[in-house]
Structure 1
Amino acid sequence: MRPRDCGPLVTAGVQILQNLRGAWMLRRDIEPGGAQLHGDAVFARFGEGALAYRESSILTLADGRVFSACRQYRYRLSEDSVVVEFADGPHIGTQFLSVSFSRTDTGLEASGVYACGDDTYHATYRILGPAAFEVVIMVQGPAKAYELVSRYSRSG
């Protein structure tokens, strides 16, 4: 039995999802190659214990060509971890990552790995505070070798 003055027990995953809800500005650097992506991302409630993520952005390649881009994921709680699933493209509903956060000197951090054919995606999430986080994804495979560094800051 818990003392009456204690608030509800909140897991790290619940706290992470609560903190992610809302609108974010997004900047993504893609190396090598010098491409940059700028746009907006929104985490919206999607049922109990889940968020729908949608980013809308402009991708500028090193040669100056410009493209519009969008991406969607679902973030949901699963015991002590946060599961990230594809919400668009050919793999809708497929798990991309399952990550468990732990405290570091700079905030909270979690890592996960996704295998797609011969390619491997190593992702690291860093929660830097209530108004900033970043996601670093290193992609390695027979015909791929690049890094995506996505930096998010609170909109408004």
Structure 2
Amino acid sequence: MIESNHVVFRVADLRAFLIGAWRISRTVRDVRLGLDGTFDGTATLESANGGDLLLRETGVMRFGGHAGPAEQTYRYAFPDGPRRALVFRHDGAPFHDLDLSTGTAEAVHHCGADTYRGRFRVEGWDTWVTEWLVGGPRKNYHMITRHSRLVPPTEGCSK
């Protein structure tokens, strides 16, 4: 679980903070199935159309007895400037907003009868953590992802 007593790092320019390559380490606990899993890989955020960022996660997912390649994509749009993003799933559906100007954020997303509750914390220019609690009639899992920068940023962050 993300602990609230950690020091947070304020992000003045979310787009500049996110762009680049990140190592990601994710743990997943599926309460309904009683299974634990991990995902280890990279997340690359690159410029796309109109100032958007395209996030592509690639790596290896281990869940229960399964181990194999996995990937996911999201689009980060910045319609009001670089401080706040609208995050969209790979199919273009809205997912959540993200504003890390205080160093932390929360998000809620409804997917049918299931609810995704996200928490985000920036620990420094090179580390940020996301936590999702997902519950409903079809899903019941807890996921934490730690992002560690692989390439230094060129601008945009302040303490």
| Partner residue in 2 for 1:15 | 13
Cα displacement (A) at 1:117 = 0.6
TM superposition outliers: structure 1 runs of 4+ over 3 Å: none
2:102 paired with 1:125: no
Relative distance call for 1:73 and 1:13 in structure 2 (3 A) is: farther
Q: Does structure 2 retain, via aligned residues, the 8 Å contact 1:13–1:82?
A: no
**TM-score, L = length of structure 2:** 0.78
CA drift at 1:14: 6.5
Unaligned runs of 5+ in 2: 1-9, 152-159
The Cα of 1:13 is off from its aligned counterpart by: 7.5
Kindly tell me the number of residue pairs found equivalent between the two proteins.
136
Deviations 1:8-63 (A, max 9, x none): xxxx8761110111111010000142201100110001134321000001011233
**1:99 Cα shift?**
2.7
Structure 2 match to 1:149? 144
**Highest relative contact order (Cα 8 Å, sep 6+), 1 or 2?**
2
1:109 maps to a residue whose letter is T
CA–CA separation in structure 1 for the residues paired with 2:121 and 2:76: 15
Q: Secondary structure at the match of 1:34?
A: strand
State how far apart, in whole Å, the 2-side matches of 1:119 and 1:17 are: 29
| Structure 2 counterpart of 1:134, from 116, 123, 129 | 129
TM-score under structure 1 length normalisation? 0.79
1:86 matched to 2:89? The reply is yes
RMSD: 1.9
Aligned pair 1:42/2:44, yes or no?
yes
Unaligned runs of 5+ in 1: 1-11
Larger of the two Rg values belongs to structure: 1
The alpha-carbon deviation at position 143 of structure 1 amounts to: 3.0
Give the structure 2 partner of residue 68 of structure 1: 69
Residue 54 of structure 1 corresponds to 56
Please list, as runs of the form range in 1=range in 2, the aligned pairs for 1:97-112 lying within 5 A after superposition: 97-103=96-102, 108-112=103-107
Q: Give the distance between the partners of 1:132 and 1:86, measured in 2 at CA.
A: 23
